[in-house]
C-alpha cells in the first residue's frame, strides 16, 4: 500500500469508538466468538461457495461473496436484490449459524441498537488487490435497522463517508476481530474498503473475510 493511502488512517483506538453519529467501532469485539465463529464460517462456505458476482452493468466484482440466513444479497444484470434462493444451486442459502446471530446481536446492543434481528449475512472474501467502492446499503426495507460488519483475517482500510458520494471518507484500519456498527443518522452513509494489501493471517491465510449482517425484510 502506498504512503498516501495510509495518510489520515486512524489505527487502534478505544475499544468502543464513535466514528460518526450512530456509527460505532468495537475493537476486537469478535475475538470472544472466534473459537466457534471460524468453523461455522467454513461450514457455510462449504454449502454455498464463494463466487464473483456481476453488477447490473456487467462488471465482475473484485470481491468474491456468498450468503447465509433467510435471504442472500445477489447482483446480476437484472439488478441488486435479496433472494431466499442461491441462484447457483437453486437451494435456500445456508441457515445463519447461532454464533453468527449471537455476535451480531451483541455487537448491535453494545453499539446502542438493542433488538437487532438480522435475517441476512453477506460474506465477502477479499484477496490482495480487491476492494469495495463507496456505496450505500439501500436494498433493505427498514432503514431503522443497523448494519453490523465484522472483520476477519488480514487488516483492511475501511472508508466511511457521509450521505453524499462526494463527502470525503474517513479511513479506519480494521484488524481481525474488529466490528463496525452503523445506524440511525449514519445508516445511509457511503462506505467502502481500500485495496487490500499483501499479507498472511495465522487463521485465514492470504485473505480478509467480512461478515455483514442486515435486516433485509
| CATH code, domain carrying 158 | 2.60.120.590
Q: What is the band of 12 on the pLDDT scale with cuts at 50, 70, 90? A: low
Is pTM beyond 0.75 here?
yes
Q: What percent of the chain has pLDDT over 90?
A: 92
Closest to 195 in 3D by CA, of 158, 167, 153, 166: 158
State the residue range of the domain holding 56. Answer: 3-214
Q: With a cut of 60, say whether residue 6 has pLDDT above it.
A: no
- The reported pLDDT for the residue numbered 3 is 36
Of 78-82, 98-102, 149-153, the one with minimum mean pLDDT is 78-82
- The reported pLDDT for the residue numbered 11 is 56
- The reported pLDDT for the residue numbered 8 is 53
- The reported pLDDT for the residue numbered 4 is 39
Q: How many distinct structural domains can be found in the chain?
A: 1
Q: With a cut of 60, say whether residue 13 has pLDDT above it.
A: no
pLDDT tens for 183-210 read: 999 999 999 999 999 999 999 999 999 9
DSSP letters spanning 167-193: SPPEEEEE-TT-EEEE-GGGTT--EEE
Q: What is the mean pLDDT of the chain?
A: 93
pLDDT tens for 26-63 read: 999 999 999 999 999 999 999 999 999 999 999 999 99
Closest to 154 in 3D by CA, of 194, 213, 104: 194
Q: At what angle do helices 98-110 and 34-47 cross, to 10 degrees?
A: 130
Cβ contacts of residue 67 below 8 Å, gap of 6+?
48, 73, 74, 86, 93, 120, 121, 122, 123
- The reported pLDDT for the residue numbered 7 is 45
- The reported pLDDT for the residue numbered 5 is 39
- Cα(67)–Cα(129) distance, integer angstroms: 22
- The reported pLDDT for the residue numbered 62 is 94
Q: With a cut of 50, say whether residue 112 has pLDDT above it.
A: yes
Amino acid at each position: 500500500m502506498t504512503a498516501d493511502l495510509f495518510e489520515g488512517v486512524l489505527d487502534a483506538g478505544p475499544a468502543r469508538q464513535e466514528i460518526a453519529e450512530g456509527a460505532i467501532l468495537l475493537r476486537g469485539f469478535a475475538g470472544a466468538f472466534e473459537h466457534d465463529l471460524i468453523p461455522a464460517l467454513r461450514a457455510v462456505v462449504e454449502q454455498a461457495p464463494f463466487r464473483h458476482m456481476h453488477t447490473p452493468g456487467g462488471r465482475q466484482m473484485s470481491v468474491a461473496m456468498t450468503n447465509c440466513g433467510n435471504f442472500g444479497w445477489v447482483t446480476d444484470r437484472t439488478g441488486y436484490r435479496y433472494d431466499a434462493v442461491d441462484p447457483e444451486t437453486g437451494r435456500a442459502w445456508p441457515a445463519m449459524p447461532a454464533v453468527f446471530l449471537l455476535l451480531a446481536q451483541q455487537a448491535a446492543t453494545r453499539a446502542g441498537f438493542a433488538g437487532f434481528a438480522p435475517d441476512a449475512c453477506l460474506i465477502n472474501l477479499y484477496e490482495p488487490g480487491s476492494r469495495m467502492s463507496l456505496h450505500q446499503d439501500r436494498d433493505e426495507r427498514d432503514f431503522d435497522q443497523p448494519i453490523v460488519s465484522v472483520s476477519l483475517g488480514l487488516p483492511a482500510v475501511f472508508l466511511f463517508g457521509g450521505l453524499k458520494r462526494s463527502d470525503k471518507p474517513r479511513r479506519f484500519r480494521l484488524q481481525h476481530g474488529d466490528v463496525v456498527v452503523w445506524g440511525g443518522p449514519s445508516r445511509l452513509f457511503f462506505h467502502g474498503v481500500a485495496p487490500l494489501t499483501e499479507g498472511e493471517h495465522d487463521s485465514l491465510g492470504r485473505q480478509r473475510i467480512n461478515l455483514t449482517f442486515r435486516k433485509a425484510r
